[in-house]
């Protein structure tokens, strides 16, 4: 892959994901690090500037994989880390247009990933803003917070400033965004058109699943997969 060293003395990894064609940043990409046996070491989501940060065990070889709908999955070779150092990494990922014909075929035979995620949210009894309501409002929203306002998100305090966090009405503490199952911190950059549905979890619900990564409640966002992008 482009732009990555094969050997690194690093414990803290700071990186940027950019488009191979335009070199623009790629926000909202899922970045995972696994060891040589495939064990997950860390999982994060890039911010608005396409940046990410992860802390890995020292002296452990690891591989980084980047995935996002509309982009070809990209990965590094094994990188060897060492404690107490910080390494800056840069990866260029190629765009991958969605094949609409292929999408229509695969979506007919079985429930796609989005439908399964929605079924899981219903099974758990999460407070969910359904796909139909999201679809009716996402085109007019300029960012995810706008989408939350327009869909009447309940149980949360939305910030007046874009850089502030969303807080729980009950705890008055910053909630954690979970994007496609990955904790993404207290703020995210997410195109409203990429959202399929979202759920709002109380602290007691989020802490059971994500522990101290989401101790004060969570906003669980499921993005549109290929099966739901037939009408972009």
Whether 116 and 198 map to the same domain: the answer is: yes
Kindly state whether residues 74 and 181 are assigned to the same domain.
Answer: no
Domain membership of residue 215 (yes or no) is: yes
Q: Check residue 178 and give its pLDDT.
A: 92
Domain assignment present for residue 185? The answer is yes
Residues 120, 89 share a domain: no
Report the domain count for the chain. Answer: 2
Residue 130 placed within a domain? yes
Q: Which of 93, 120, 151 is the last residue of a domain?
A: 93
Please report whether residue 87 resides in a domain: yes
Residue 104 CB: number of other CB atoms within 10 A? 11
Distance CA 31, CA 43 (A): 6
Residue 222 lies in domain: 112-228
Residues 159, 68 share a domain:
no
The verdict on residue 56 lying in a domain is yes
Same-domain pairing of 83 and 178? no
Residue 202's CATH number: 2.170.130.10
pLDDT of 230 reads 44
The three-class DSSP label of residue 129 is strand
The pLDDT, as a whole number, for residue 103 is: 36
- 219 and 138 within one domain: yes
Would residue 2 count as lying in a domain? no
Q: What is the pLDDT of residue 128?
A: 94
- What is the model's pLDDT at position 97? 58
**Tokens at 106, concatenated:** 């695969």
Closest CA to 17 of 84, 87, 88: 88
Structure tokens at 12: 């803290």
pLDDT given for residue 57 in this prediction: 82
CATH number, position 89: 2.60.40.1120
3-class state of residue 72 by DSSP: strand
The verdict on 59 and 167 lying in the same domain is no
DSSP string, 1-57: -TT--S----SEEEEEEEETTT--B-TT-EEEEEETT--EEEEEE--TTSEEEEE--
The CA-atom distances, in angstroms, between 199 and each of 74, 117, 148, 172, 180 are 29, 11, 10, 18, 11
140 and 71 in one domain? no
Grouped pLDDT means (10 residues each) for the chain, 232 residues: 42 88 87 87 90 85 86 82 73 68 37 81 92 91 90 89 84 92 85 92 91 93 67 42
pLDDT at 227: 47
> What six digits make up the tokens of 145?
């917070």
């Amino acid at each position: 892959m482009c732009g990555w060293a094969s050997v690194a003395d690093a414990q803290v990894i700071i990186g940027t994901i950019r488009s191979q064609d335009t070199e623009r940043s790629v926000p909202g990409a899922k970045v995972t690090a696994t060891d040589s046996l495939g064990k997950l070491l860390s999982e994060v989501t890039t911010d608005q500037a396409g940046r990410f940060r992860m802390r890995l065990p020292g002296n452990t070889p690891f591989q980084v994989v980047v995935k996002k709908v509309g982009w070809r999955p990209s990965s590094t070779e094994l990188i060897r880390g060492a404690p107490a150092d910080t390494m800056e990494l840069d990866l260029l990922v190629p765009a991958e247009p969605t094949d609409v014909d292929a999408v229509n075929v695969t979506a007919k035979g079985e429930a796609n990933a989005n439908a399964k995620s929605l079924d899981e949210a219903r099974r758990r009894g999460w407070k969910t803003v359904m796909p139909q309501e999201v679809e009716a409002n996402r085109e007019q929203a300029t960012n995810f917070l706008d989408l939350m306002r327009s869909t009447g998100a309940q149980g949360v305090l939305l910030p007046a400033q874009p850089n502030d966090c969303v807080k729980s009405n009950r705890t008055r503490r910053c909630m954690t965004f979970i994007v496609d199952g990955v904790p993404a911190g207290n703020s995210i950059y997410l195109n409203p058109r990429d959202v399929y549905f979202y759920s709002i979890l109380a602290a007691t619900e989020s802490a059971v699943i994500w522990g101290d990564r989401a101790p004060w409640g969570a906003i669980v966002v499921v993005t549109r997969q290929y099966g739901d992008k037939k009408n972009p």
